[in-house]
Amino acid sequence: MKTATIPSIRVEPAFRERAEAVLREEETLSSFVETALTEAIERRIMQRDFIARGLASHAKAERTGIYHSADSVHKELAERLGPSGKKKGKA
């Protein structure tokens, strides 16, 4: 498969210096930018999917009239997690 390029962006020299200052050994600015873009894309996909699930759940609750209180949801989650899911100092 043939590769494509991402459009270059113009930045202030100080911004580029800050980016270069955090590069790891053997890491290039291009690989850093690619990683940042990949992570941003994945985060946006997760956000979009989360919102879609929330809207679908809301529509289902309106359609069925069945709602769950936050307390009941927290209780069920705590039961699923068991003792390992409890934070130290919390019951």
Residue-wise pLDDT for 14-33, tens only, equals 999 999 999 999 999 999 99
Answer whether 67's CB lies under 8 Å from 61's CB. yes
| pLDDT at residue 79 is higher than 60 | yes
Please report the pLDDT score of residue 40 as a whole number. 98
Please report the pLDDT score of residue 55 as a whole number. 98
Average pLDDT, the chain: 93
Residue of 36, 34, 40 lying closest to 3 (CA atoms): 34
Q: How far apart are CA 59 and CA 66, in angstroms?
A: 11
Q: How far apart are CA 10 and CA 23, in angstroms?
A: 19
In this structure, how many other beta carbons lie within 10 angstroms of the beta carbon of residue 24?
7
